[in-house]
Structure formats: C-alpha cells, structure tokens
Amino acid sequence: MSEKLTQALGFLLARLYVWIVLSSALLVCTSPWIFIGRSLRANASVWDYLHVYLGLICAVLGILFLLRNTLQGKWHQYFAWLVGDWGQLAQDIKGLFKGKLPVAGGKGLFSTVEGIGMLLLVATGVTGAIWFIYQGTPFAMTWRGYHQICADFFIGFLVVHLVLAATHIIEFIRQ
C-alpha cells in the first residue's frame, strides 16, 4: 500500500464516527424530499442522486465502523447479551427504574444500544445498496420497502441515542 493511501485510510478511520454522523444526518434530513421508486428516474433531482450515492458511501462507512468496533473480541462490549452476559445490562435497566442513569462503556445499556445502532446502520445501508443493484427489476420495490423499514428503525435508534447521550452529558456535569 502506498504511503498516501495508508495516510488517507488512517484519516478516514480516525474520523469514521464523524463521517457517519454527518452523512447519516444529511440522508435522514433530506429523505422526505426523495422520490425514488423502482429506479432512479431520468429526471431525478439532485436530492435523489445525493441520497443514493451518499447512501452507498454511508453503507461502506457503516460496515467499516461495525468491523472496527467488533473485531478482535471487541464485539462482547456491544453484544454481551448474545452469549448470556446480562449482568451490567440488567443492572443498568434496574437502575433506570430507581432513577439512576446508566454508566457509559462496559457491557451495559449504552453499549447495547450502540451495538443495535451499528446493526441498524449497516442494515439500512445494505438494503439500500441491494435496492440500487436491483433497480428496474420487480425486486426493486421489495428491497426499497426493506430499506424504508430499516431506515425507520435507524431513525428511532437515533432518537434513543440522542436521549442517552444527553443523559450521559447530564451525569458528567453532575459529577
């Protein structure tokens, strides 16, 4: 790998979260203006093209983000419940009912929500990419439907993520 390519990849990976936040925010905020059905229309708007091609880039970024955060055993932090490790997650949920905010990090509520968010981001990107591949075919509308369902869940995750981030900031200020 050339030195410039290595530097560019390092720059991208170091700021991956920021790139995903910016591109996701733009995609979500402009999605009501999108009019794409079975395929991109010949007279598609700039918003349609922006959504499709930025969405494809965001799909790749989402996969890179998921891989970076889950390889080398780091997946346990986000998906501990998959192997039956419910301890910190259950403790955080019980604490919520007692008015105690969850602790950031570890294998608790914040990490679990982040893991689900990474999966929703990738699912949204992959279903959009598959729609793009199948555009103009009978399968396109099916994959568009899957993409919209995943996007709706991802938007729901964003709301939960923002609420949890706000509570984390509040707890940080309290201490």
Residue 21's pLDDT is what? 93
- Regarding pTM above 0.85, the answer is yes
pLDDT in tens, the chain (175 residues): 678 877 877 777 778 999 999 999 999 998 888 878 777 788 888 999 999 999 999 999 999 999 998 988 888 889 988 888 888 889 988 998 888 877 777 888 889 999 999 999 999 999 999 999 999 898 999 999 999 999 999 999 999 999 888 887 877 787 7
What confidence score (pLDDT) does residue 122 get? Answer: 98
pLDDT at 1: 60
Instruction: Please report the pLDDT score of residue 170 as a whole number.
Output: 79
- DSSP labels for the chain? --HHHHHHHHHHHHTHHHHHHHHHHHHHHHGGG---SSS--TT--HHHHHHHHHHHHHHHHHHHHHHHHHTTTTHHHHHGGGGT--HHHHHHHHHHHTTPPPPSSTTSHHHHHHHHHHHHHHHHHHHHHHHHHHTTSTHHHHHHHHHHHHHHHHHHHHHHHHHHHHHHHHHHHH-
